[in-house]
Amino acid sequence: MAQMKVMVVDDERDIKPLFEQKFKKELRSGDFEFFFVYSAEEALQSLKEFGKGGIVLILSDINMPGMNGLILLKMLKEQYPDLKVFMVTAYGDEQNYQAAKAYGADNFLSKPIDFNHLKELMAGARNHT
């Protein structure tokens, strides 16, 4: 199975070592490749550079300085309708959840992330690409 390229969008830089630790086995086996960006603006720029067919899944935090994750989600779904987008929030916030659903989020996760659940969701997203 081809490697799945995943972009993680979060203004907290400590997310990178956390993902690298939690996905150590999958990274070693080449199942996933992660790219980390630290703002919505950086995510949009990076996607342009990757071009079509590069990134398959985006995991985006909702609460970020500058452009928030919901605005990013809306833009992503307009520009890249086939891209899977999972939204992540630290708040069990019904309003954000409803907005994310309305904008077409493929999934919604709460922090702290349950990595076993995330891996299951990612496997499901991979099987539908």
Beginning with the edge strand found earlier in the chain, give each strand of the sheet holding 107-110 in spatial order: 32-37, 4-9, 57-61, 84-89, 107-110
29-82 per-position pLDDT tens digit: 999 999 999 999 999 999 999 876 689 999 999 999 999 999 999 999 999 999
**Do 35 and 100 meet the contact criterion of CB atoms below 8 Å apart?**
no
Does the pLDDT value for residue 91 go beyond 70?
Answer: no
pLDDT at 81: 92
Mean pLDDT over residues 16-39, rounded? 96
Amino acid identity of 78? E
Fold of 4-127: Rossmann fold (3.40.50)
How is residue 46 written in tokens? 């990076």
pTM of the model: 0.94
